[in-house]
Structure 1
């Protein structure tokens, strides 16, 4: 792995190679760790000794450290726009790749994908303070998010009301001085 490598693509390529070589799953992490460099290596070595032996824990720590977590992918997906030099096909492909990284349909069932989308919308619809509290705790499912939100609202009942600015009163334009440049047409008199 080099500094220019996309860590997510590197790990996926490693997993494809390990699977093709039919390595036992428990040996993958032992073979992967010496190949990591920089921030990825620091993230793997920063785990407790027991977690360093678990392939999923190492992969999650490395991806989180380098901004490739599911939450980061969701944020990139929601912020993506067609840029000036992009073609619609490339933009659509980029969106598809980001959505797959965020929702992980290869790993999750259809119900799991739906729950991810509902979880995002649930947190988005909460009052700002409660939403920040829930995001900070990174719930992995909707039930966890609901529990966090209910606990926060129980502790801070005033935060349930979203603070919205008071709209400014509507101003009426001042009356025009002088003759009206656009006189009203009077309807014809009917017999």
Structure 2
């Protein structure tokens, strides 16, 4: 709304804070005073308090369905918004955007225990995830065949 009405960003926190309630208000009151009047600091505190991250939006994007009464165009725009919050394509090159999708697919095809371990290490791209699988900081992983032979 602030962008639509072309409010200067410096005014955003003072217009937003009076509308905060519950957990959002708790996040604001717990903030460092110097950051509480800076929109980016306020936004970050709210995202942390509500545990909102690109992973949250990725999960919402992948689990999306079409609610009753929503048109295909509305669904498209909702999905596009979730995708942009997940991948943040405006902040990346085309190759970096591709890496996000490759990383997700790699994680999808890994065995559950390895997938969980790799996700805990928050790889930034598919190659980093693959390297974690093959050794990483935890030492070389044994293949299923090697484990069976032991």
TM-score in same-fold range (> 0.5): yes
Query: Residue 103 of structure 2 contacts residue 129 of structure 2 at CA under 8 Å; is this kept in 1?
Result: yes
Q: Given the alignment of the two structures, is residue 95 of structure 1 paired with residue 95 of structure 2, yes or no?
A: no
**Residue 75 of structure 1: how far off its partner (Å):** 0.6
Where does residue 21 of structure 1 map in the other structure? 8
- Under a length normalisation based on structure 2, what TM-score does the superposition of the two structures give? 0.65
Query: Residue 133 of structure 1 contacts residue 152 of structure 1 at CA under 8 Å; is this kept in 2?
Result: no
Quick one: distance in 1 between partners of 2:8 and 2:85?
Answer: 25
Where does residue 97 of structure 2 map in the other structure? 113
Check 1:115–1:28 CA distance in 2 against 1; reply closer, same or farther (3 A cut).
farther
Q: Given the alignment of the two structures, is residue 151 of structure 1 paired with residue 144 of structure 2, yes or no?
A: no
Query: Residue 9 of structure 2 contacts residue 39 of structure 2 at CA under 8 Å; is this kept in 1?
Result: no
Count of matched residue pairs: 142
1:22-50 deviation per Cα after TM superposition (whole angstroms, max 9, x unaligned): 64xxx977x58855543234445667x5x
Question: C-alpha root-mean-square deviation of aligned residues, in Å?
Answer: 3.8
Which of 68, 77, 84 lines up with 2:61 in the alignment? 77
**Residue 72 of structure 1: how far off its partner (Å):** 0.8
**Residue 119 of structure 1: how far off its partner (Å):** 1.6
1:95-115 deviation per Cα after TM superposition (whole angstroms, max 9, x unaligned): 112112111122222222212
Which protein is bigger by CA-based radius of gyration? Answer: 1
Higher helix fraction (1 or 2) = 2
Q: What runs of 5+ residues in structure 1 fail to find an aligned partner?
A: 1-12, 163-191
